[in-house]
Structure 1
Amino acid sequence: MSELISRKSTDPKYNFEYLNRPYAFNRDKGKCLICSEPVLSTNVHIHHINPSLPITLVNRVTNLATVHFGCHKTVHSSMSFEHLGNKVSYLYQGYRQENADLQL
């Protein structure tokens, strides 16, 4: 996990609260909040629910969500997800809508 934490340490968004990522991972019990499958250290991504928050708030545990690399990529893409079922589709739509609202 420490290697993942240090990977993008030069970006100002990755302040000392960047260390909250393991807390979010533990809070989420090591499961992806979109598909509910276990997340391994090789494919863990932490999604900023509201990436437009001020620097002092963006890395708070309450703004972080544990997701798989693939699930995270889908949230930030225009890929279709309806074939994944109602629950997963609803979660993707929620995360995608939050990001779209921020870009308006």
Structure 2
Amino acid sequence: MYNSDTPSQAELPSSNQLIKSTILAIIAAIVLLFTVVLPAEYGIDPTGVGKLLRLTEMGQVKQQLAEEAAADAAGLPTTDIDNVTEKAVNATIADTTVTSGQWRDEIPLL
């Protein structure tokens, strides 16, 4: 900006400080890559932290969905849902019976 003061040479960081900051930023990025990004995006958990944070499961679901989308795009038949998922869906449907007097889809205006 035109109205800001230019810092003096003493206020600027030295080359050594910039190098240290850059190295620390690279180390932090690598740690985040191995502990958060790989488990959450690809289901790869080299450290075990992703399993504790349940990121590995999320990554595995993403990979499975990507495989199903690729198979669907290729026109290949996809696998049916497993028995556990099917039982859970059926149990949820059976448990959510609504009587006719419970639900009213209207908003009263005053």
What band does the TM-score fall into relative to the shorter chain? under 0.3
TM-score with structure 1 length normalisation? Answer: 0.24
Relative contact order, CA 8 A, sep 6+: which one is greater? 1
Which has the larger helix fraction?
A: 2
Which has the larger strand fraction?
A: 1
Which is greater in Rg? Answer: 2
